[in-house]
Amino acid sequence: MVKCPRCGYENPSTAVYCNNCAYRLSDSDGKRISYTRRKTSWNMGLGKKIVIVLGIIVIAFLLFSFVYNSTQPANNDTLNVITDDGSIHQTSSYPYTAVIQYNGSWYAQMGDPNYLVTESGYMPDSFVLDCAAWDRVAIDAHKDDYGEGELKVQLLRNGEVVAENSTNESYGRVVINYNY
């Protein structure tokens, strides 16, 4: 009887392969192959290998997240624009202000065209827009009360008027689209 070194099954002495797991027990001449196990090796199961690879992926993801988050500016940091010649133009955190002048009820959508903010009110008001200096800015305002008088909308950039529009229609609408 020959014991299989892989599974421990007792095979007949004439067997070339293990009858249980098909492990090779002898060579083509019928000589028995002697197997010795190494005591120090990296023999590990597939499960351990998967756990190690997943651990490396998780560590890499956490490291990437830490580096990415530590390199991002804080929300209240100043937005700076770097031009082609390398000079830096500093702007305020939110350089745009919308001013709506109307002595009545009005409704408006304003801000970055992809992220418009809805506001409504009665009487003149102004709003700081959550837009960076390089963003497109859109304002769409109209009268809500069919009132008389002028509806005037101004877009200010760092305190200076960069665009304005007005209407005197009873249900007037004013649209401003601004690209810096």
> Do 17 and 9 touch, CB atoms closer than 8 A?
no
Q: How far apart are CA 86 and CA 77, in angstroms?
A: 20
pLDDT in tens, the chain (180 residues): 888 888 889 988 888 888 998 888 876 565 666 655 555 556 677 888 899 999 999 999 999 999 988 877 655 444 555 555 655 555 556 788 999 999 989 999 998 888 888 999 988 998 888 787 777 899 999 998 888 889 999 999 888 999 999 999 888 899 999 987
For residue 19, which of 10, 28, 6 has the smallest C-alpha distance? 10
Q: How far apart are CA 33 and CA 77, in angstroms?
A: 73
Q: How far apart are CA 93 and CA 79, in angstroms?
A: 6
